[in-house]
Amino acid sequence: MFGFSLRPRQKKPAQVAKDRLQVLLAHERGRGADTADFLPQLQNDVIAVIRKYVQVADDDVDIRMERGDEISSLEINIEIPAEAPKKQAARS
C-alpha cells in the first residue's frame, strides 16, 4: 500500500553483533475522514509490547515521527543487546 519494502543496508562488522528491530507505522487518512492521529499514543504501546519479549534500554530506542495532512508516519529503531532474550512472555 505505501510502496515500501525492506532493503537491508550493508552491515558494518561493528554493528553485526547486536540485533536490531525496526518498526514503521504509517497512517493514511482518507479524504473527509475525521480519524484522530493516534500514532503518538500507539508509539508508547508498541514499545511496551516489544519489551515483553526483549530487554530494551531507553538509550537503545530511536523514534522519528512525521505528521502530514494526509499521512503520519512513525519510525522506531531499537538496538537489542545480542545475549539471551527475556523469558518468552506468558500467553495473556
Which of 45, 57 has the CB closer to a second copy?
Answer: 45
Burial (CB < 10 A; 0-12, 13-18, 19+), residue 78, is buried
As a whole number of angstroms, the distance between CA 60 and CA 70 comes to 30
Q: Of residues 41, 57, 63, 67, which one binds a second copy by CB under 8 A?
A: 41
Determine if 38 is a binding residue for a second copy (CB under 8 A): yes
Q: Least distance in Å: CB of 90 to a second copy? A: 11
CB of 55 to a second copy, least distance (A): 11
- The answer to whether residue 52 forms part of the interface with a second copy (CB under 8 A) is yes
Q: Does 22 bind a second copy (CB under 8 A)?
A: yes
Distances (CA, A) of 38 to 15, 41, 44, 67, 88: 33, 6, 11, 11, 29
70 binds a second copy per the rule CB under 8 A: yes
